[in-house]
Chains A and B, each alone.
Chain A
């Protein structure tokens, strides 16, 4: 184990999200709606050296195994991330992300005139395109700056 990896301690049970693009760890937590208020023990490594990415972030969530639906959403901002499910310090499952066809309630439409940004009882809904996302209501396409759309609430 290298000195860099030691900066983020091993977890006993939970999920390790590795190979997140450098600087995106907090956005990953926002997508997963993890803000610490639920009592999860969260460790974050940001901009650590990576052979594959140059710099990468790592997020370790103790005591929580993320569902496939949750991790699929991460593909919008971290397409190369790997997910490690850890039980009793051992990685029992390791998989790559798959892009979902749609994400609901995660992103806020940047079109201020979109009905989904109004005070209506609907969740935002975006179709996932090969190179971006598209609002299912107003059809606005976003290719860059998708992390900026993450609903911080």
Chain B
């Protein structure tokens, strides 16, 4: 990969994606070969909003490579609480680490941070913007289960504020993918993502219900419809049920449909889906470690 910073999935070419995914597959096949490959490397974790999976998987990834983390800790216990700007914080912490991982509630925070630091920066989610490392593990999971070319994928839920959706949609434009977006009208893709998909010549269809498109899908990627986004609680309850998937729903799907979710889920995928062959979301979450190991391995440089 030729990028020092990974801010958006738009940066990734097909070759970049394949490089990361191939390296992740190597790691999956022989994890011992990568142990201590980056002994002594320090990864700076700057999480300005709560995260469990992403933060822990980055921590696991660098430790499995022989490195360690320096962790800013919670915002409440940091200098941010004293009013320090993000620009100042990252300029200080880049001196402590070989690479930085940033999670921030503001859109564009990673883009700005990339302008201030020289060490590799990984965007681990910036508000409703992007989440490109999630996308790489999503693509890894898709490739393992359905293949990335001639793919028909349905992406359902909160498409407006869902950063994992935005990044995945961008990345899929590198492949021969037919993208179907399913959401209530109030949570459709933002104008900026539609613009980019149109510019990239992507095949995109938008729907308000899953029923019509479900039988055609290789992959169904579900995200949480965020109750807090609705000004009126009744409006949320009126539509939320329309975007829940259970085993009965999937009776209309192909036998080899792969159901994914970036997690955490609330009730958009019923527990009875877990026991079906469709459920891939826990495997997807586990893939976060080898994929982030691969990414860090590439960004920190080969030691061989």
Contacts and interface: CB of A to CB of B under 8 A. Distances in A.
13 contacts: A113-B128, A115-B86, A115-B108, A115-B111, A115-B112, A115-B126, A118-B86, A119-B85, A120-B86, A121-B87, A122-B112, A138-B127, A138-B129
A118 B107 CA distance: 10
B106 A115 contact: yes
B82 interface: no
B108 A135 contact: yes
Contacts of A116: 108, 112
A120 B85 contact: yes
Interface in B128-161: 128-129
Contacts of B191: 140-141
A134 interface: yes
Nearest to B128: A113
B59 to A, nearest CB: 25
Contacts of A140: 107, 190-192
A139 B129 contact: yes
A114 interface: yes
B31 interface: no
Interface of A: 111, 113-116, 118-122, 134-141
Interface of B: 85-87, 104-109, 111-112, 115, 126-129, 190-192, 195
Contact of A121 (B85, B106, B126, B195): B85
B107 A113 contact: yes
B90 to A, nearest CB: 11
Nearest to B161: A113
Nearest to B85: A120
A141 to B, nearest CB: 5
Contacts of B86: 115, 118, 120
A134 B192 contact: yes
A136 B127 contact: no
Counting from the closest, the 3 A-B pairs by CB-CB distance are A137-B108, A138-B107, A115-B108
A111 B108 CA distance: 11
Nearest to B113: A115
A39 to B, nearest CB: 34
Contacts of A135: 108
Given A113-B127, A113-B128, A138 B87 contact: no
Contacts of B87: 120-122
Given A120-B112, A134-B192, A141-B191, A113 B106 contact: yes
Nearest to B129: A138
Nearest to A134: B192
A113 B192 contact: no
B192 A118 contact: no
A140 B105 CA distance: 16
A122 B190 CA distance: 25
Contacts of B192: 134, 139-141
Nearest to A136: B111
Residue of A119, A122, A134, A138 with most chain B CB atoms under a 10 A cut-off: A138
A101 to B, nearest CB: 16
Given A122-B112, A138-B129, A139-B192, A115 B85 contact: no
Contacts of B111: 115, 136-137
Contacts of B128: 113
A120 to B, nearest CB: 5
Contacts of B190: 140
Contact of B107 (A114, A120, A121, A141): A114
Contacts of B107: 111, 113-115, 137-140
Contacts of A141: 191-192, 195
Nearest to B193: A139
A111 B160 CA distance: 13
